[in-house]
Amino acid sequence: MSAEVAAVRTWAAGGGEFPYATVLSAYRRWGKALVPSGLLDALSEARRRAGGDLRPFLDVLLDKRDGTYDYRSYLALPLLAPHLAESDVVIALLVADLVRFELAADDDPAGPLPVMPPDDVLVEKRLRHGLRVIRPVLDRLDRPVRPAEPGVRAEARAVWAAVEARMSGEQRLLLRCTMLPVDIVHDEYLFIRVLQTFETAFAGLVRDLDSAATALSGQSATRAEDALRHAAASLREVSPLWSILATMRVGAFRRFRQWTEGASAIQSRHYKLMESLARRPDEARLGSAAYDHVPEIRTLVRTGLPSVDAAFRAATLAPGERAGVAGAMAEFAAAVDTWRRTHHRLATRMLGAQTGGTGYTGGVSYLAGAREIPVFG
Ligand code: HEM
């Protein structure tokens, strides 16, 4: 019996502290797709006794075996979900951890996820883009960053130190439990953290658009304009994540992608909610694969989810107010448009024009169509 199976069985028999470190290091050693069945059996047995936060963690660990593997379980979104209201805190944790992982490759290229370690130049690029995302977040959180010397690496180390200094035990565990690569390729780490950070940002956009629609229904143009400008700024602020993702080696991506079939961001509830809160999708889009993957959002739309677009048309506003809100809507639409175009460009580079998506669409051709959908109007 392996050490990790023994540790899980001992916990299941006697309780106490769940052996997180042992189980997580086993998952890192093999990658989630290749975890031996003996450990999966033991975890499945243990799940019968699990309650509280442990239960969703075990569901995420066992998704491949249970046949429930999807985008949400791949990114461990059920574990992140309770924290998403605090976008800045979560983004700081996720991006600082990404930076830490890349910094660690300097000292130990064959560390966890040893396949295709990055060279110095690549690490530096990733750190530079990561710092662009995290600087404004740490400013807002009032976490001073004090690099010991000039340079990107020193600033990145200081960023991790600043975030780690205020990290609770619960947040530390959350970071560890939400990193479950399917393979052992270095670049999958950044892929997962980038997706999780965008998800966190989408959750914030949902709140902003919801506030904007409510404000417009109450004829409050200023509040609507502020919410929309905040949404646009938030989406622009995380956009350097695309530059990080663009440093992912195509060979690395294609290797771990063999295990991610069935997990596609087409299943992102926050993204579709964001789209639907901006403007009610046309019937053709609502009836398509785009919403087949998120039937609960389709139901929300069909049962009367308000939208900024409709609330704006119905609102009685002074000409100056109308112009202000229209300007903020245009700013948000431009940010979404840039996001979609960058996504489409990167997907084309990673997949080629002909490969289907992991969400079983035509792949890049699906994205080319979705890119043209108006955000408003
Ligand atoms: C290597 C990078 C990426 C590739 C190759 C890629 C590819 C694709 C493809 C092919 C689709 C179409 C659905 C499918 O069949 O899977 C898709 C959808 C989507 N992707 Fe990505 N993607 C990448 C990164 C990202 C990132 C970082 C995000 C951020 C969360 C993201 C968010 C989305 C969303 C929200 C959709 C659904 C769009 C819609 O339904 O209109 N993708 N992606």
- The string of pLDDT tens digits covering residues 195-245 is 999 999 999 999 999 999 999 999 999 999 999 999 999 999 999 999 999
Question: Tokens 């905040």 sit at which residue?
Answer: 230
Which protein residue's CA is at the shortest distance from atom 37 of ligand 1? 266
* Interval between CA 268 and ligand 1 midpoint (Å): 9
Cα angle value 111/80/253 (rounded, 5°): 45
* Interval between CA 350 and ligand 1 midpoint (Å): 11
Domain boundaries of the chain, sorted by first residue? 3-68, 82-174, 190-370
Percent of the chain predicted with pLDDT > 70: 99
- Per-residue pLDDT, 288: 96
Q: What are the beta bridge partners of residue 115?
A: 185
* Whole-number average pLDDT of the chain: 95
> pLDDT-based confidence at 111, cuts 50/70/90?
confident
Return the exposure string of 193-228: e unless at least 16 CB atoms fall within 10 Å of the residue's CB, then b.
bbbbbbbbbbbbbbbbbbbbbbbbeeebbebbbbbb
Of ligand 1's atoms, which has the minimum distance to the CA of residue 351? 5
> pLDDT-based confidence at 361, cuts 50/70/90?
confident
Question: Tokens 């110095």 sit at which residue?
Answer: 120
Which protein residue's CA is at the shortest distance from atom 4 of ligand 1? 347
Q: How far apart are CA 330 and CA 60, in angstroms?
A: 39
Query: How does pLDDT run across 322-355, given as a tens digit for each residue?
Result: 999 999 999 999 999 999 999 999 999 999 877 7
- Per-residue pLDDT, 110: 67
Q: Find the length of the chain.
A: 377
Contact 366, 289 (CB under 8 A): yes
CATH architecture for segment(s) 190-370 = Up-down Bundle (1.20)
- Could you give phi then psi for residue 210, rounded to 5 degrees? -60, -45
- DSSP 8-state code for residue 185: B
Q: How far apart are CA 376 and CA 278, in angstroms?
A: 6
Query: How does pLDDT run across 68-99, given as a tens digit for each residue?
Result: 999 999 999 999 999 999 999 999 999 999 99
* Interval between CA 365 and ligand 1 midpoint (Å): 12
Contact 186, 113 (CB under 8 A): yes
- Per-residue pLDDT, 355: 76
Which protein residue's CA is at the shortest distance from atom 7 of ligand 1? 347
Residue range 178-184: mean pLDDT, rounded: 97
